[in-house]
Amino acid sequence: MNNNWNQISEQALLYWEEFMTWFLSMPIPAQVLIIIGTIASLILAVVIVYFVLKGVGYLIYYILKGVYLLLKGIFEGLYKLFEEIYYDVSGKPKPVKKASISEEQKDDQPQTYVEPEIINPVLKKVEIVQPNAVYCSECGSQYTEKMLEQLTENGIAFCVYCGKGYKVNLVEA
């Protein structure tokens, strides 16, 4: 037995020496690329093995879960079937399941309707024109007193500087 291990180790040492001779005979950039490629291949192999094992684990888990749910459904169905057969054969009435407490309370209480209070909105007229703070949006100059008088009387005025027209809109709130 010990002789076999010696032969195996000598054979492995012979292959290792030949590989090292071949590897060292290459230029350094090729050696670096071979080392990087070997490391990348090992990492890729580990990742592949991880995902294969993870997939197999998920597969086994979902198969067992499916079998469990299937057996559970079968046994629940058989239980309900034999329960129905029992009540049919024995002539006993099937017990009625009681509703939850909250549903019973809802049925016992008389229902009353409360009409909601109607709230009427208060209508007020708001005037947009404020005499002390009116400026032309086009040229930026302040409205003259005559322009403000026209706005309050007619609801329409034109800027004396640029000619832009303005109309007062009454807002109800």
pLDDT tens-digit series, residues 60-97: 999 999 999 999 999 999 999 999 999 889 888 888 87
Averaged confidence pLDDT in the chain: 84
Give 134 or 106, the one with higher predicted confidence: 134
Q: Which two tokens stand for residue 136?
A: 């032309």
Give 16 or 169, the one with higher predicted confidence: 16
On whether residue 68 sits in a domain, the answer given is yes
CA–CA distance, 67 with 61 (Å, rounded to integer): 10
Shared domain for 72 and 18, answered yes or no, is: yes
Domain count, the chain: 2
Shared domain for 63 and 134, answered yes or no, is: no
User: Given a cut of 70, is residue 172 above it in pLDDT?
Assistant: no
Residue 153 structural domain: 125-172
User: Given a cut of 60, is residue 130 above it in pLDDT?
Assistant: no
Report phi then psi at 111, rounded to 5: -90, 130
Is the C-alpha dihedral spanning 36, 41, 42, 43 positive or negative? Answer: positive
On whether residue 76 sits in a domain, the answer given is yes
On whether residue 53 sits in a domain, the answer given is yes
Report phi then psi at 152, rounded to 5: -75, -35
> What is the pLDDT, as a whole number, of residue 31?
94
> What is the pLDDT, as a whole number, of residue 120?
77
User: Given a cut of 90, is residue 148 above it in pLDDT?
Assistant: no
Shared domain for 13 and 60, answered yes or no, is: yes
Q: Name the β-bridge partners of 167.
A: 156
Report phi then psi at 142, rounded to 5: -75, 145
On whether residue 110 sits in a domain, the answer given is no
